Structure 1
Amino acid sequence: MTKELLTGNTAVALGARLSGVEYVPAYPITPQTEIIERLSRWANEGAMDARVVTMESEHSMLTAAGAASVAGVRTFTATSSQGLLYGFEMLYNIAGWRAPLVLANVSRGVASPITLEPDHNDVLSARDSGFLQIHAETCQEALDSVIMAYRIAEDDKVRLPAMVNLDGFYLSYTREPVDVPEQERVAEFLPPYRPQSGYMSAKNPMSVAVVVLDGRAYSYFKYQMHLASTNALAVHEKVAGEFEKAFGRKYPAVEGYMLEDADYAIVITNSLTTTARAAVQEMRKEGKKAGLVRIRLVRPFPRQQVADMLAGKKGVAVFDQNISVGSGGILYPEILSALYHRSDRPKKVVSFIGGLGGKRVGHTEFRHMVAVTEGCVRDDSQLASVLLFTDSDWQAVKGMLRTAGKGEVSQ
């Protein structure tokens, strides 16, 4: 094993290379492009035995990826933001084909207005498609998650595509020390892709796009996909255990931090978890019993583990780096659903939305979340979703719009 200073994008590309990927259909979009550039260079130099093909769109890219996977080829691709949405139709098709490819999504806010920086509306828009979703906190985890994703997706109990998500810019272009495992050790952990018997090929053509009427067959297939996805919970735990034995790094579906004696907990996903941990450490030094729950596996949703970790807490602050316009945070109702039937559920669960389009979220914001949640518990009150957007932010936005010639604006 060697330690290298890598961007998140390079770490993902290395994960694909070490996984023995054979086919990479691609289409460039910021901030994902570096992944494909790396894989293309390695393929051209003979450093990996794979074919990298630039397609004419993300829709074509995903179509080719799904077709190659069901034809028996270990397939990888990557996209971001508008690119994911452009190929959205094919996400449902690929999952319905039970094609166990891996797709890296480098999160970036969705226009309009246009932005290059991250939030999670792109990846969470795909939560119902049938793709498994693993969300990475660090560059190291981005690399490891790609390798683990193939083991989970290709398991006979699952056979579904997997999406590995990492935050654009915060991880994609940030360099961190990463332990790169040897190819031989990865090959021992991840055996060659073994497609299902009778898989599609030129000698064995078949149709997987027949019209199904009256709903019975359609319902059956959707139910089988749901069962396969729920199977992935146990498969993930098994694979995570084997990965820890092989490489010494532990990746539970749900991770608790300073949680055992905590009165208040922050629930979070992705790279801002690192900042939230530091804020929790600060609050602990001040005598405030704060903790953190980080959800790594978003689909299938590990509701039992989440509920067990939050049981008995006084208050929970759910941080959503996304917004379902007209409703609120996307993960917040899933947390509520997991807790609803528990007699030992927290007294208050409060929704916070922040980090949209890469807006900075620091220690102050996480401390504010805990303070507001404490207030709700103390006053026995409940708030609607709290948008972490201050008066000074609003004044800055008005200044930018005036500079752009938009004149006076109202809140």
Structure 2
Amino acid sequence: MGIRERMSGNEAVAIAMKQINPDVVAAFPITPSTEVPQYFSTFVADGAVDTEFVAVESEHSAMSACIGAQAAGGRAMTATSANGLALMWECLYIASCSRLPIVLACVNRTLSGPLNIQNDHSDSMGARDSGWIQLYGENNQEAYDNTLMANRIGEHPDVMLPVMVCQDGFITSHAVENIELLEDDKVKAFVGEYNPENYLLNRENPIAVGPLDHFTHCFEHKRQQAQAMMNSKKVILEVSEEFYKLTGRKYELFEQYKTEDADVCMVILSSSAGTGKYVVDQMRAEGKKVGLIKLRVFRPFPVDEIAAALSGFKAIAVMDKCDGFNDAGGPLFTEVTSALYKAGAFGPKVLNYIYGIGGRDVKAGDLESVFSALLDTANTGKVTSAYNYLGVRE
């Protein structure tokens, strides 16, 4: 039986880190992720963990310290948002290509500029091709649960990649919700110890981490990295199934909500899915066949699975809380349409909506208008505009 609590998403992630008790946490404060290392530092000060907490001078230094700790054979974790993630940019690629399974709590915030501290997905989406596994949570419970699963996923010998656990800044990070925690001993048993095969402090097998890698081997190393990302999909499902047996909470690559007999479907990430589900319920009560898919795993992108799930709909709306600045659609839209194209699923009409930029509120009425447009598209077979902005003053 779990422990019933009330806490914010940031505190939930910090509690998960406390229960994991990593060897090193290195972090620099930035809104809205500051509370994660702040909470964790109190656990260190109180002796609740024996983690080495490193208060660094920048986010670049935070990820650098995590890289050093993980390369030495330790388990390292950190947290950041927006410009802090951008300052880590160079190090994100180094961590992933060095096959270091660091876990980063990314509390999503608008990436400047203009300067803005509210939520959208421009920070983590900007890092989508850095070689990190990316998990997205709808609420505080999912932020906590994804954090508990992240080490198991990244540290699997077939993967050995860093993991980014994303939640929406302020919307979930600071909002207090009911949550069910696992007991400390169950977390420790589930996560286990980190015992890497290769690490810098292993005197019996000296290695180099991050050496110069010319054309003689660089391509092969990147191919191995890509294979590890492919392998991670199977591992994510295996770890999620084990977590389900432990907690009763079911996680897959994405959640399908009332899609069985739906004519149209919305694809969405993170906290906005909660509003989307409410709208689906309201429109279902009116006899309208609408459904929703909430993506949990963005990297690796579940290409075959999402194509199979979407191929039967007449019309689909892909919701991006981040623009692609490519005159073609946001990041999630381009991934979904590529998946459908790969599968030869040319039947559904696909619309993209850019929404919530800079923390612009998305209300039930906004998402209802999207579903209404989808139903019109399904009836007429015509797409007036595939690339749309929702809730912006044109």
TM range (shorter): over 0.9
Match of 1:121 in 2: 122
Task: Give 1:164-183 correspondences, 5 Å limit.
Answer: 164-183=165-184
Superposed CA offset, 1:109-143 (max 9, x none): 01222111110010011111111000011101111
Residue correspondence of structure 1 range 295-374 to structure 2 within 5 A: 295-327=295-327, 328-374=329-375
CA contact (8 A) 1:13 1:38 kept: yes
Q: Distance in 1 between matches of 2:288 and 2:56?
A: 53
Q: How does 1:231-242 map to 2 (within 5 A)?
A: 231-242=231-242
- Conservation of the 8 A alpha-carbon contact between 2:41 and 2:53: yes
Q: d(CA) in 2 for partners of 1:378 and 1:144?
A: 40
Distance of 1:326 and 1:307 partners within structure 2? 23
Shift of residue 202 of structure 1?
7.9
Who is 1:201 aligned against? Answer: 201
The separation in 2 between residues aligned to 1:202 and 1:190, in whole angstroms, is 23
* Aligned AA (1:365): D
Q: What is aligned with 1:65?
A: 66
Per the normalisation by structure 1, the TM-score is 0.92
Distance in 2 between residues matched to 1:342 and 1:23, nearest whole Å: 43
Runs of 4 or more, structure 1, over 4 Å off, are: 202-205
Q: How does 1:83-98 map to 2 (within 5 A)?
A: 83-98=84-99
* CA–CA separation in structure 2 for the residues paired with 1:58 and 1:20: 21
The aligned residue for residue 380 of structure 1 is 381
What amino acid maps onto 1:386 in structure 2? N
* Unaligned residue ranges in structure 2 (runs of 5+): none
SS in 2 for 1:340: helix
Give the corresponding residue for 2:40: 39
Code of the residue aligned with 1:141 in structure 2: it is E
- RMSD, aligned α-carbons: 1.4
Shift of 1:205: 5.7
User: 1:312: Cα distance to partner?
Assistant: 1.0
* 1:164-209 alpha-carbon deviations (Å, 9 max, x no partner): 0010000110001111111111122111011124x11285664323
**Does the 8 A contact of 1:267 with 1:295 survive in 2?**
yes
- Structure 1 unaligned segments of length 5 or more: list them: 395-410
Q: 1:73 to 1:342 in 2, by over 3 A?
A: closer
Q: Secondary structure at the match of 2:217?
A: helix
Corresponding residue number in structure 2 for 1:190:
191
> 1:261, 1:24 → 2: CA distance?
47
User: Partners in 2 of 1:38 and 1:106 — Cα distance?
Assistant: 15
Alpha-carbon contact 2:333-2:352 (below 8 Å) kept: yes
What residue number does 1:264 align with?
Answer: 264
The aligned counterpart of 2:163 is: 162
Report the Cα offset of residue 345 of structure 1.
4.5
1:344 Cα deviation from its structure 2 partner: 4.8
Counterpart in the other structure of 2:391: 389
Q: Deviations over 1:255-278 (max 9, x none)?
A: 100011000000001111111000
**1:230 corresponds to which residue?**
230
CA-CA distance at 1:373 after TM superposition: 2.1
Corresponding position of 1:80: 81
Note if contact 1:134-1:145 (Cα within 8 Å) is conserved in structure 2. yes
Is contact 2:258–2:292 with CA below 8 Å preserved after alignment? yes
What displacement does 1:372 show? 1.5
Q: Which amino acid letter does the alignment assign opposite residue 299 of structure 2? A: R
CA distance in 1, matches of 2:77, 2:343: 40
Conserved? CA contact 2:319–2:354, under 8 Å: yes
1:25 match: 26
Contact 2:264 2:378 in 1 (8 A): no
SS of corresponding position for 1:361: coil
**Equivalent pair of 2:7/2:177 in contact (CA under 8 Å):** yes
Q: TM-score, normalised by structure 2?
A: 0.96
Secondary structure of 1:140's counterpart equals helix
Partner secondary structure for residue 57 of structure 2? coil
AA matched with 1:389: G
Moved more, 201-210 or 77-86: 201-210
Contact 2:59–2:88 (Cα < 8 Å) also in 1: yes
Question: Contact between 1:267 and 1:316, CA under 8 Å: does it hold in 2?
Answer: yes
Distance 1:90 1:344, change over 3 A: closer
Q: Distance in 2 between matches of 1:364 and 1:37?
A: 37
Give the whole-Å Cα distance in 1 for the aligned partners of 2:342 and 2:212: 40
Task: Give the whole-Å Cα distance in 1 for the aligned partners of 2:77 and 2:210.
Answer: 22
TM superposition shift of 1:343: 4.9
1:375 positional shift: 2.6
